[in-house]
A and B are shown apart, each in its own frame.
Chain A
Amino acid sequence: MNQRQRPRRRGQGELEGLVLSALREADGPASAGWVQERLGGDLAYTTVITILTRLLAKGAVTRERAGRSFAWTPVSDQAGLAAHKMRKLLDGESDREAVLASFVTSLEPGDERLLREVLSRAKAEGED
C-alpha cells in the first residue's frame, strides 16, 4: 500500500543499489533499522529487510545475529553487485551471442591447439 502512495515506483535494482551504498557508509555491521533511517525513512522497514535478504542471496552482503535481529555487513560494492547480476543474466540466456556481440566466442574442440600453433608461429615470425 505504501508503495502506491509514492510518486514514482523505483525498480528493484535501483533499491538494491541504494540499500547497498547506505550499508557501505556504515562503520561496521549495521541493523536494518539503521539502513532505513539512513535512507530517510523513505522505505518501509519490511521493504528494507526484503532487499537485504535479496542482497544476501546474491552474495553482496553477509549477516550475523545481534540480539533479536541481524547485523548486516556489505561484502561487495555496486560493481560487484552489477557483476553478479550480469553473470546471472548471461548464464541464463542461451542465445546471448546474438544480442551482445562478445569479443571471443568459445573455442571448439581442436581449436585450442590450432590457435596456439598460429600464435606461436606469429611470435616466431615477429621475432625475426
Chain B
Amino acid sequence: MGVFVFLPLVLPLTAWPIARLAEQHLHPRTATRLLTGLAGAMATCSSVCLGLLMVVGTAQLPGNPLPDGWSDPEVRAAVPYDEVAGRAAVPALLVVVAACGGTLWRHWRMRRRAHRALAGLPGTEVAVLPDEAPYAYALPGKARDRIVVTTALLSCLEPAERRALFAHERAHLTARHHRFLLAVRLAAHANPFLYPLRTAVSYTTERWADEEAAELVGRRRTVARAIGKAALVSRGTPVPTLAEFAAPGPVPRRVAALLAPAPAARYWPSVFTAVGAAAWTAAAGTAVSAMSSANSALTLAVILHAATPL
C-alpha cells in the first residue's frame, strides 16, 4: 500500500479546480448538488482513513481496547510511519469529531433561538420586523419555515423587487438549501482541504435561489436590482472576514450573473469547447481521486478485517 493509504487525506485538493469551474459554468442547481456530493464523499473517505490509521497505529499500545491483531506487523506494513501516523490520527480524529459536533449543536441552537424570538408574532410565513438594520433571512423550521425581513430592507425596495426578495428566500426554503450548507460545513471540518468547496456551495446556493426568483418574477434585471440595492443599503453592517484581495465578492458576481442571460439548462458543457474540455478533465481527475480515495480507505478496512481475530 505504501503512502497510498494517506491519499484520502490529501486528495480533496484535487476538487479545487472542479469547484471553480462548476461555480462559474454549471447551472447553480447542478453545481450545488455536484459539489455537495463530492465534498460529502471525500470527507467520508478522509475520516474513515483517519480512523483506520489510528486503529493500526495504536492497537498494540498498552491499555488500548482494540484487538492486538489489528496492529500485527503484516497490517503495519500497509501503513508507513505507523507509529507517528497512528498517534497523530488520534488528536486529528478528536478535532474532527468535536468540530462537527459543535457545528451541529450551534446549527440547532441558532434555529431554535431564532424561532423562539419570533414566537410572539402571528404565525404567518413572512415575519416583518420593525428594525432599522436592513436584513432578510430564510429560517428553516421543523413545523414551519419562516422568512424574516425587516422594515428597513423592505422600504428601500420597489414592489417587484420585494417579490424577488421573497421568491429568493422561498427558494432557499423549498430546496432545503440549509442542508447543503450544513453538509459542506461538516465536510470542511472533516478535512480542511475541502474548505473551498464550502465557499463555492454557499455561492451556488445563492445563485440557485437567484435563478428561481428570476424565473418566478420573470425579469432577471429586477432580481439583480433587488440584490444590488439590498447590498448597498446593508453595507454598513460589517462582518470581520478576511477580504479576498482583488477578487470581487459574491454580491457583484451574483448581480453580474443575473444581468447576463439565464444559464443553459444543459447540464454539462460540450467537451469540444475550451471550457468543456477543462471541465471534463477536471471532472475526470476529481472522479479518479474520489475513487482512489475510497479505494485506499476500503483496502485498509479489508486488511483490518482479515487481521481480526475470530
A100-B138, A115-B251 are known contacts. Are A93 and B118 too (CB-CB below 8 A)? no
Q: Smallest Cβ distance from B73 to chain A, in angstroms?
A: 45
A100-B114, A103-B168 are known contacts. Are A14 and B228 too (CB-CB below 8 A)? no
B3 within 8 A of A: no
A109 within 8 A of B: yes
Chain B residue with the shortest CB-CB distance to A115: B252
User: When chains A and B are docked, how far (Å) is the Cα of A119 from the Cα of B113?
Assistant: 37
A79-B128, A93-B110, A98-B107 are known contacts. Are A103 and B135 too (CB-CB below 8 A)? yes
- Pick the contact of A89 from B114, B130, B181, B228 — CB < 8 Å? B114
At the interface with chain B, which of A25-33, A43-51, A65-73, A80-88? A80-88
A interface majority secondary structure: helix
At the interface with chain A, which of B18-26, B38-46, B119-127, B274-282? B119-127
A40 within 8 A of B: no
- Interface contact A101-B259, CB-CB below 8 Å: no
Q: Smallest Cβ distance from B147 to chain A, in angstroms?
A: 10
Give the A interface residue count (CB, 8 A): 45
A116 within 8 A of B: yes
Give the B interface residue count (CB, 8 A): 64
A7 within 8 A of B: no
- Pick the contact of A86 from B103, B114, B256 — CB < 8 Å? B114
Q: Please encode chain B, from 59 to 101, with 1 for each CB lying within 8 Å of some chain A CB and 0 for all others.
A: 0000000000000000000000000000000000000000000
- Interface contact A103-B130, CB-CB below 8 Å: no
B292 within 8 A of A: no
A115-B251, A118-B255 are known contacts. Are A17 and B238 too (CB-CB below 8 A)? no
Residues of B within 8 A of A (CB): 103, 106-107, 110-111, 113-114, 116-121, 127-131, 133, 135-139, 148, 150, 153, 165, 168-169, 172, 177-178, 181-182, 185, 202, 205-206, 209, 221, 224-225, 227-228, 230-232, 234-235, 237-239, 241, 243-244, 248-252, 255-256, 259
